[in-house]
Amino acid sequence: MTGFWSSETMRARFVSERLITPFDPKRIENCAYALCMGPQALLTGEDKIRYELSEGEEFIIPPGQFAQLLTEEVVRVPADALGLISMKSKIKTLGLVNVSGFHVDPGFKGRLRFSVYNAGPTPVRISRGTRTFLIWFAALDTPTQDLYNGEGGRPAFTDEDAMAMQGDVATPQALVKRVVALEKTIGVWNKFLWVLVAAVVAGLISIFGPRILDAWTSDGDVDPPEAPSEQQP
């Protein structure tokens, strides 16, 4: 029978088939299982990219940056099901967006990797061990032979994963800062140009002003020509 697994099915199968390791039955919430932030994270940038987190250590995702997050738990999806994943609402409301996809293939085994983007205005802070992600299991009509055969189930991030995260992202926040800096620069140059124009005008006045004034004054002081005198016979 197809359909999503109930909380009761999760409790039974997770224990008997070791589908979540480590498993805590208290993390089953409304037919979903809450996964925790794990031991590693990657962040876009030129400096530090790879972060190794100790228990309870905080990881910060600045606004406009991409990150890859690793779950604490190892997940195994059986051949008769597939997994659907998301993040908890308290994380999503901060502006963190999952951009890595929304399902886990039958036959997958390993830590889940979430590629996320901080679309919010403030940094998002996640500590190792915090319930951050959710996974649901949906039953297939029959077990499949078309099982997962990729490399997504690696236990840790590789050097290739870290290299792919190199480089700064042209974030809206960074663009706003550049525009503000450009406006300040233009404002300084505008003031300089006005001062320069005023200095040039003052110089021209100091050079040509007296000549123009003399010309106007001399034109006003010229006596009209005398009328010719009449000749006596």
pLDDT of residue 47: 75
Which tokens belong to 225? 């020509």
pLDDT class of 41 with cuts at 50, 70, 90:
very high
Q: Among 39-53, 99-113, 183-197, name the one with the lowest average pLDDT.
A: 183-197
Rg, the chain, Cα only: 38
Q: How far apart are CA 2 and CA 22, in angstroms?
A: 27
Superfamily of domain 3-169: Deoxyuridine triphosphatase (dUTPase) (2.70.40.10)
Q: How far apart are CA 152 and CA 155, in angstroms?
A: 9
pLDDT class of 177 with cuts at 50, 70, 90:
low
Is residue 133 scored above 60 in pLDDT? yes
pLDDT class of 75 with cuts at 50, 70, 90:
very high
Is residue 20 scored above 90 in pLDDT? yes
Is residue 215 scored above 70 in pLDDT? no
Transcribe 18-56 into DSSP letters.
T-EES--GGGEETTEEEEEEEEEEEE-BSS--EEE--TT
Q: Say whether pTM exceeds 0.75.
A: no
pLDDT of residue 85: 96
For residue range 139-159, list pLDDT tens digits in order.
999 999 999 987 667 788 888
Q: Is the dihedral of CA 75, 79, 80, 81 positive or negative?
A: positive
pLDDT of residue 125: 96
For residue range 94-122, list pLDDT tens digits in order.
999 999 889 999 999 999 999 999 999 99
Q: How far apart are CA 44 and CA 69, in angstroms?
A: 12
pLDDT of residue 231: 54
CA angle 135, 86, 126 (to 5 degrees): 105
Q: Which residues pair with 58 in a beta bridge?
A: 127
Is residue 192 scored above 80 in pLDDT? no
pLDDT of residue 161: 85
Average pLDDT over residues 16-20: 96
pLDDT of residue 62: 92
Query: Max Cα separation, the chain?
Result: 151
Is residue 191 scored above 80 in pLDDT? no
Domain boundaries, the chain: 3-169, 170-209
